[in-house]
Structure 1
Amino acid sequence: MSTAQEQPDPAAQVAVVLDGCAREDAVVVLAALQSSFPSDRAVDDEPVEAEGGQPTVWTATFDVSRTLGLAGPAKLSQPVTVTAQGGYRAVDRLREGLAEAFAVRVVGTAAGDQEQEARLRLENQ
């Protein structure tokens, strides 16, 4: 019997980037995702604003190979755009998870051979 931890499936990893939004909205979006999927961020690792008024970018990677639970509806102060990059099925699963908490609209995609980048617009349901 092996005691080594099981390595995550790279095809199930989705990198998420939030920028151009308020810290409070980044907290809401990341919390909704963390309630649905395992993440490389600790649950208590809240986004922090960059000092000096510089633009802030928040990132996290989610393993969508298993669902932890379903996020309930969440409240944003304004619409948020999320960039998700990963395998086609993985990005779709992430979008489905976000749809439990927000109204989600795909506003752009860039397709690669085995991965895609999708820009998702999140609004209150």
Structure 2
Amino acid sequence: MRTTQRPTAAHSTDTDVTVELSGCEAGDAHAVFGALRTAFASDRASDDRPQEVTGERPTVWSATFDVAEVREKAGPTRLTSPVVADVQGGYWAVARLQEALTWAFAVEVLGTAAGDQEQEAQLRLDTRRP
């Protein structure tokens, strides 16, 4: 069941969702985080751009979004290649973030893991086709 109604006080959950991106270009990471910053408040400044890091280890970009209130719907956003996003938060919060991602991208759920209070989801994001 998919719901975008905010939990009541009796069933309150955290509204923060952590998003991690890896294995993609810095520009694509910036596009994903930018679309999410359009919709939600973030722990990252609007001018904070992901930077490429050289070395043997993969680069992981991370940001946290407060999905309590939608500021504005992000429009379709172009990616140079598909991006895999790992998201973690309360059930309602993850569902709300996932819905917001569908405004900007084609979203495919690759997998989920359920916990007592939180959910993890792996999402494949791609440019939406008309």
With normalisation by structure 1, the TM-score equals 0.90
Q: 2:27 aligns with which of 24, 28, 33?
A: 24
CA shift, 1:58, in A, is 0.3
CA shift, 1:52, in A, is 3.1
Misfit runs of 4+, over 6 Å? none
CA shift, 1:51, in A, is 2.8
CA shift, 1:50, in A, is 1.2
Q: 2:49 aligns with which of 46, 59, 68?
A: 46
Question: Which secondary structure state, in structure 1, belongs to the residue aligned with residue 80 of structure 2?
Answer: coil
Question: Which secondary structure state, in structure 2, belongs to the residue aligned with residue 109 of structure 1?
Answer: strand
What does the per-residue CA deviation read over 1:26-84, in whole Å, with 9 as the maximum and x for residues that have no partner? 01000000000000000001101113354110000000000110000000001110000
Contact preservation (8 Å) 2:111, 2:121: yes
- Partner of 1:36 in structure 2? 39
CA shift, 1:10, in A, is 6.3
In 2, Cα distance between equivalents of 1:69 and 1:10 = 22
Q: 1:11 aligns with which of 10, 14, 33?
A: 14
Q: Percent same amino acid at aligned positions?
A: 55
Corresponding pairs, count: 117
- Partner of 1:93 in structure 2? 96
Residue type matched to 1:28 in 2?
A
What does the per-residue CA deviation read over 1:65-117, in whole Å, with 9 as the maximum and x for residues that have no partner? 00110000000001110000000010000001110000111110011001000
What does the per-residue CA deviation read over 1:10-32, in whole Å, with 9 as the maximum and x for residues that have no partner? 61000000001111100100000
Gaps of 5+ in 1: 1-8
With normalisation by structure 2, the TM-score equals 0.86
Residues 1:42 and 1:10: Cα distance change in structure 2 (over 3 Å): farther
In 1, Cα distance between equivalents of 2:65 and 2:30 = 15
For residues 67-106 of structure 1, the aligned pairs below 5 Å read 67-106=70-109
In 1, Cα distance between equivalents of 2:127 and 2:55 = 30
